Amino acid sequence: MAYNDENIFAKILRGDAPAFKVYEDDYSLAFMDVMPQVEGHTLVIPKNPTENLHDADPVILGHTMGTVQKVAAAVKQAFTAPGIMIAQLNGAPAGQTVFHLHFHILPRANGIDIAMHARDMADFTLLETHAQRIREALG
């Protein structure tokens, strides 16, 4: 499958779609998932057009993973989560629905069952509040 530059993450990177941004550097962008599995569900994407892990430039992937690590620590702090789950899906059979490489950061606590994809959009005011909490934890 060829990269489709009309996917929602490509639109966010171009500024054609809104996002509740948490962190950004030259290689990657972190923002709130608008259909969160749990409060604090954050996404990290590389800025270059990459469909999945198999297509990723190793250098850009390394920088993106650095962002995942940094943002995951902030999510853990901001939501006083005892654990963090990192998820990354490759291809439709694995559950990937947006075909731009992305990493899910999900705060976790004992007894919380979650599915891989939510069906309902979160309240945008709440998402902005969550994004602010994570930005503050980033310093």
- Active site (catalytic) residues: 102
**CA 61-23-84 angle, 5° bins:** 70
Q: Is the Cβ–Cβ distance between 16 and 5 less than 8 Å?
A: no
Kind plus residue range of the DSSP H or E element containing 64: helix 58-78
**CA 19-55-101 angle, 5° bins:** 20
